[in-house]
Structure 1
Amino acid sequence: MSEPTIRRATVADIPELDRLLHQVLEVHHAGRPDLFKGGVTKYTAAELAGLIASDETPIFVAVAGNPPTDEAADSFVAVEPTNGGDACAERAGSGSNESDPTIPAGAEPVLGYAFCQFQRHPNDNILTDITTLYVDDICVDEMARGRHVGSALYHHALAFAKESGCHNLTLNVWSCNPGAQAFYERMGLKPYKVGMEQIL
């Protein structure tokens, strides 16, 4: 199996991002239903478009084929809901979008994503003025696991952080997801702070 291609997300990828966001949320909901709702996503289609447009919040996607066409982006705009609902329904795992009208013609299946954002604290009273690349979320499609998509995404984000002059790369991982924690440890990440709770 060849290595996936990693590139910046475009608006044509929003339906696929939405599909994967559902997968991530369900993992968190299953692990901590007291904290995470089920059947929802973290971002709306409009919010995803804003993140994609900003160089401060780059989103990287892993794909197996060529980048989506301009026609795909135009098609997405045409089908974007106006009632604040989700951008698309779940796609069948066939790898083809011909039978699913919610995936624009010319768009390609996304194998995984990495949501990133630059963090800075200029003129802070206690924090030094460094630049951090914070990885807000990494997801690999449940149908693409075991194909080294996650490691390809992480190493791409790490190289991007270095090229951008960042001091470090950080992320959060939930204790209810030990598989993710083990993956990040294999990637070389180490704890630098710990969140704790006592449920009342």
Structure 2
Amino acid sequence: MPDLEIRRANTDDIPAIMKLLHQVNDVHAEGRPDLFIEGKTKYTPEELEQILADGARPIFVTADSDGTVLGYAFCVIEDHAGSTNLQPITTLYIDDLCVDENARGKHVGTALYQHVIDYARERGCHNVTLNAWAANPKAVKFYEHLGLSVYKYGMEQIL
């Protein structure tokens, strides 16, 4: 595993995060062009600034020894204590996880995911969840390799 630093993202990381957001979106646009627009991103730089300021939505980045951002994990802390039908647990939801296409296969994603797991444990979370697109089987296989399993299905019927 390369020498990596995993830390909370800051506003100086926005350009690198935007580059990775383009990579993620383009993988999804290739797999589901009926849903995703090639060349776009899930968030704008302005939205990233707002997310970075929100303590309940931490973003972690993985950087190499030169400080180059190789990956990110967007997280959301979900507190179900006020729910009328769910157990009063806290979940850490991984909204998005990406490793730069040039750094894949080098255990960057595994290290990043383990950091997120440690962060969730430290905060007393009951579980960590995420969604994976069926059109991205490499991601599904990666998450299964990390030990994640299906806990719900998202289904559709295209009209």
TM-score (norm 2): 0.96
| Structure 2: runs of 5+ lacking an equivalent | none
Instruction: Give runs of aligned pairs for residues 171-190 of structure 1, distance below 5 A.
Output: 171-190=130-149
The residue number in structure 1 matching 2:154 is 195
CA–CA distance in structure 2, aligned partners of residues 191 and 185 of structure 1: 9
Instruction: Give runs of aligned pairs for residues 54-93 of structure 1, distance below 5 A.
Output: 54-65=54-65
The residue number in structure 2 matching 1:125 is 84
CA–CA distance in structure 2, aligned partners of residues 123 and 156 of structure 1: 28
Instruction: Give runs of aligned pairs for residues 1-200 of structure 1, distance below 5 A.
Output: 2-65=2-65, 108-200=67-159
CA–CA distance in structure 2, aligned partners of residues 136 and 150 of structure 1: 14
The 8 Å contact of residues 24 and 98 in structure 2, kept in 1 or not, is answered as yes
- List per-residue Cα deviations over 1:144-196 (Å, max 9, x = no partner): 11211000110000010000110000000000001000000010101100011
Structure number with higher strand proportion: 2
Where does structure 1 differ by over 2 angstroms across 4 or more consecutive aligned residues?
none
Over the matched positions of the two proteins, sequence identity in percent amounts to 56
- List per-residue Cα deviations over 1:52-83 (Å, max 9, x = no partner): 122201000000136xxxxxxxxxxxxxxxxx
CA–CA distance in structure 2, aligned partners of residues 3 and 133 of structure 1: 26
The size of the alignment, in residue pairs, is: 159
RMSD value over aligned CA atoms?
1.2
| Structure 1: runs of 5+ lacking an equivalent | 67-107
TM-score (norm 1): 0.77
Structure with the greater alpha carbon radius of gyration: 1
The 8 Å contact of residues 28 and 176 in structure 1, kept in 2 or not, is answered as yes
CA–CA distance in structure 1, aligned partners of residues 41 and 129 of structure 2: 22
Paired residue secondary structure (1:7):
strand
Deviates more, 1:19-28 or 1:118-127: 118-127
CA–CA distance in structure 1, aligned partners of residues 65 and 133 of structure 2: 32
